[in-house]
Structure 1
Amino acid sequence: MIECLYRRIGADGEYTVFESTDGTRSNWDPQIQHGSPPLALLTRAIEDLAEGTGLRVGRLTLDILGAIPVTTVHVRSWVERPGSRISLMAAEMLVDRPDGTRRAVARVTAWLLAPSDTADAVTDRHPPLIEGEASTVAHAWEGAPGYLEAVSWRRQQDQDGAAVAWLSPLVPLVDSEPTTALQRLAMVVDSANGIGAALDPQRFLFMNTDTAVHLHRLPEGQDFAVRARGSIGPDGIGVTTAELFDRNGFIGTSAQTLLVQRLG
């Protein structure tokens, strides 16, 4: 039974050490992690680093630097560009090599900005999404163990060529510790590639190398809608873009670069 995505082990110098659980296992390969858990854990590290600064996240970008094994991971964060109004922060995840050295497998960079009152100038490009009846088939990886067991995935009727799903994390990110709404969004947003799949996963592999999330409003709650579209180029490279929503409406966008390979 999956109870959380990571378990906190302790500290090792500047690193916080976590054990990855079965809830991080990818639907592509159970030996590696799905992109959302590392994104969420590194987002957590950035939120911890930003505490007390008065800044809030406007953009998160995950770069997957290599296959992320389901193992013990080391996480650290730092301020790349300090500032009272605009700051760039970063966090990375490392794993041990067989020879005892470590390699970085994922990195998140985040632009944080100083909030101000613009309530009288609010604009949303998209109206709120209302959750409807879920499809009987949630996704193309039905029955895959691991990460997909840790998320409620409610596929909706497609809209104007875009695929829509409401997603909700079913477990905490770390042990039984509180999980913020931004971390909960990060726990599901990397799934946009699967939601907006333009190819049959039985015939093609289409894994993302990154996930970039832009937020004009911080997310609220624990239920998020992803309206995604996939585009595949002629030379094995694709892109998935998505609009993101919480129960109160449109919150931002995401984009992912895809490596596309024919199977068999």
Structure 2
Amino acid sequence: MTTSTIARESYYQRTGEHTFKPTVHTGGAWSADEQHFSPLAGLVVHAVDQYLAGRPGGLVLARISYDILGRIALDECAITVETVRPGRTIELLEATVTIGGRAVVRARAWLLATLDTSAVADSPREPLPAPESLPVWTMDEAWDGGYISSIEVRRVPPVRRGRTTAWLTSHVDLVAGEPSSPLASFVALVDTANGIAPQQDPAEWMFPNVDLTIHLHRAPRGPWTGLDTTATFGPTGQGLTSTVLHDVDGPVGQAEQILTVRPQPR
């Protein structure tokens, strides 16, 4: 399936004020009857955007941390957002995703005040090669699922396991008939980092992440999400996927995913 054949389709359809139905494009990489976490992470940011709509500007999302509490079924989900720590310059929000009355994801987002620090803005990290300069990687040759089939990936050919750089984009809308912010669309691709530089063959080993934490030092813009990713497996069943996040203008932040590493069942 090419991205042109799924243009104007969506990952979710709104079914109520706070409820959403996943489409086939959310299908998971580890199991066909589960949602891939990546688009759901973007949907949570979309819900946060709506929660904040109409407020005076001045606060921006600087960190969002997701805990994945259990199986994310391909069923209708509800997302609630509340303020945990209000403030004029610093605020903490919490979002909860429930499916069938059970919480499956909890996310906390720190919002920070904005001011002009352009005179001291700097990063030692170099920009990535332009997306157009990299070869297309047919990711669905290595991974299953509707989500993987929905994205375009351009990747630096890995020279070793667990290390690569890639650009991702999608022509699938986040929510049918609704505009999404550049941040929500960007975040909707970040969780893919755990699959672009696998340490081991996913047919032989499982290494799903149980969390995702994203820190941002500036707001990203689309349509490309850049992932400079390193995956590490430890000796006792844990792993870590670490990613420097980029847009086409340069680095924007970092993402971390803790992994549970185990052999595929026989």
- TM-score (normalised: structure 1): 0.91
**2:13: which partner in 1?**
7
Where 2:219 maps in the other structure, the secondary structure is coil
Give, in angstroms, the shift of residue 130 of structure 1. Answer: 2.1
From 21, 24, 49, the counterpart of 2:23: 21
Give the CA RMSD over aligned residues.
1.8
**1:99: which partner in 2?**
none
How far apart, CA to CA, are the structure 2 residues paired with 1:163 and 1:57?
A: 27
Where 1:208 maps in the other structure, the secondary structure is coil
From 82, 85, 94, the counterpart of 1:81: 85
**2:75: which partner in 1?**
71
Give, in angstroms, the shift of residue 214 of structure 1. Answer: 0.5
Residue correspondence of structure 1 range 180-199 to structure 2 within 5 A: 180-199=181-200
* Range with greater deviation from structure 2 (46-55 or 235-244): 46-55
Where 1:250 maps in the other structure, the secondary structure is strand
How far apart, CA to CA, are the structure 2 residues paired with 1:81 and 1:56?
A: 15
CA contact (8 A) 2:183 2:219 kept: yes
- TM-score (normalised: structure 2): 0.90
Deviations 1:200-222 (A, max 9, x none): 11110000001100000100121
Give, in angstroms, the shift of residue 143 of structure 1. Answer: 6.7
Deviations 1:108-152 (A, max 9, x none): 210000001100010112111122544464337447231012211
How far apart, CA to CA, are the structure 1 residues paired with 2:138 and 2:22?
A: 25
How far apart, CA to CA, are the structure 1 residues paired with 2:180 and 2:152?
A: 16
CA contact (8 A) 2:139 2:149 kept: no
**1:110: which partner in 2?**
109
Residue correspondence of structure 1 range 137-156 to structure 2 within 5 A: 137-139=137-139, 141-142=141-142, 144-156=144-156
Given the superposition, is the C-alpha separation of residues 84 and 140 from structure 1 closer, same or farther in structure 2, using an over 3 Å criterion? Answer: same
Residue correspondence of structure 1 range 52-71 to structure 2 within 5 A: 52-53=55-56, 54-71=58-75
* Range with greater deviation from structure 2 (236-245 or 154-163): 154-163
CA contact (8 A) 1:226 1:242 kept: yes
How far apart, CA to CA, are the structure 2 residues paired with 1:86 and 1:125?
A: 27
The residue type paired with residue 7 of structure 1 is Q
**2:97: which partner in 1?**
93
How far apart, CA to CA, are the structure 1 residues paired with 2:189 and 2:177?
A: 18
Given the superposition, is the C-alpha separation of residues 27 and 221 from structure 1 closer, same or farther in structure 2, using an over 3 Å criterion? Answer: same
The residue type paired with residue 244 of structure 1 is L
How far apart, CA to CA, are the structure 2 residues paired with 1:109 and 1:223?
A: 25
CA contact (8 A) 1:240 1:256 kept: yes
Give identity over the alignment, percent. 33
Where 1:200 maps in the other structure, the secondary structure is coil
CA contact (8 A) 1:232 1:239 kept: yes
The residue type paired with residue 94 of structure 2 is A
Unpaired runs of 5+ residues, structure 1, are 97-101
Give, in angstroms, the shift of residue 50 of structure 1. Answer: 2.5
Given the superposition, is the C-alpha separation of residues 84 and 136 from structure 1 closer, same or farther in structure 2, using an over 3 Å criterion? Answer: closer
**1:233: which partner in 2?**
234
Deviations 1:169-227 (A, max 9, x none): 22110002112111111111001111131111111000000110000010012111101
Unpaired runs of 5+ residues, structure 2, are none
Given the superposition, is the C-alpha separation of residues 42 and 136 from structure 1 closer, same or farther in structure 2, using an over 3 Å criterion? Answer: closer
Where 2:261 maps in the other structure, the secondary structure is strand
Aligned length: 255
How far apart, CA to CA, are the structure 1 residues paired with 2:158 and 2:227?
A: 11
CA contact (8 A) 1:63 1:211 kept: yes
* Range with greater deviation from structure 2 (161-170 or 25-34): 161-170
How far apart, CA to CA, are the structure 1 residues paired with 2:28 and 2:37?
A: 8
The residue type paired with residue 35 of structure 1 is F
The residue type paired with residue 33 of structure 1 is Q
**2:37: which partner in 1?**
35
